A and B are shown apart, each in its own frame.
Chain A
Amino acid sequence: MFGVGFVLALALAIFSIGAFGVLTRRDPLVMFISIEMMFNAANLALVDLSNYLKLVQGHALVFFVIAVAAAEVAVGLGIIIAIFRTEKDVNVDHLSELKG
């Protein structure tokens, strides 16, 4: 009943919701969670297609994506906390230190 297209559509919808979150929210943590959501949408599409094509290479790729995402979360949250320690404010609209 639920074919390859249904899961692809679900992944597209989740990706778009994540993009919407990154564009609208000002809380850097929620923006970060939205980015993770987009990662997960890509993973879901990969798993769906490798299930459809009966290939396991997609699973290996998802494994790598999860590892890269974990490294990215560690570095990103470290940066956010470092900014908060110097600025005492993590609203992305107020962070204009890098502005030329």
Chain B
Amino acid sequence: MGLNDILFAIFSFGALSSAIAVVLTRNTVHAALHFVGHLLCLAVLYCLLNAPLLGVLQVMVYAGAVMVLFVFAVMILDMGEQEHAPLFNSAGQALGAGILGALLLGLLAWGLGRGGLDQALAPAGAASLPGVETDNIAQVARSLFREGALTFEAVGILLLTAVVAVMVMAKRKLES
């Protein structure tokens, strides 16, 4: 059991437990902070899965920008007074959602197993290009700007649209 396996076990457990903590905690700020921990664990998992660029992006975009937005929204909405409200509407709803979630998990696992994942993927894995670990960022950039160049531009337009939409929403509320 090498160092990678130990790190893998630790951060998989961390990602899973912090995900459960997000859903079960009463306080919104605590949920946001648990989510930061979840994101950081996932970033480490990305690095262990030979995707260091995505690990860095995860920390910068998610744990940085997105979580700042979330905490900012918590501050504006002033969620403190709802701290003593019950966590779920009713035990029945929570139970039903739990059963549905477990069903979803089982269905996804069954679908993946039924699809014969290993057999389906093995030939493609053997035929694909070797040495993805050595120069990950250059390869991702090549894939991003050659095959995905059009998508890249579309994402740029999407981000611009989102910025304009948020500005319009904020402005209209100030006028009224």
Contact = CB atoms under 8 A, between A and B. Distances in A.
Contacts of B89: 24, 26, 93
B76 A74 contact: no
Contacts of A12: 105, 108-109, 112
A75 B166 contact: yes
Q: Tell me the dominant secondary structure on chain B's binding face.
A: helix
Q: Tell me the dominant secondary structure on chain A's binding face.
A: helix
A75 B162 contact: yes
Contacts, number: 229
Interface of B: 1, 5, 8-9, 12, 15-16, 19-20, 22-23, 28, 31-32, 35, 38-39, 42, 45-46, 49-51, 53-54, 57-58, 61-62, 65-66, 69-70, 72-74, 76-77, 79, 82, 85, 87-89, 93-94, 96-98, 100-102, 104-105, 108-109, 112, 117, 121, 124-125, 128-130, 132, 136, 139-140, 142-144, 147-148, 151-152, 155, 158-159, 161-163, 165-166, 169-170, 172-173
Contacts of B35: 33, 36-37
A78 B170 contact: yes
A97 B104 CA distance: 31
Interface in A9-29: 9-10, 12-21, 23-27, 29
Given A27-B28, A54-B128, A78 B147 contact: no
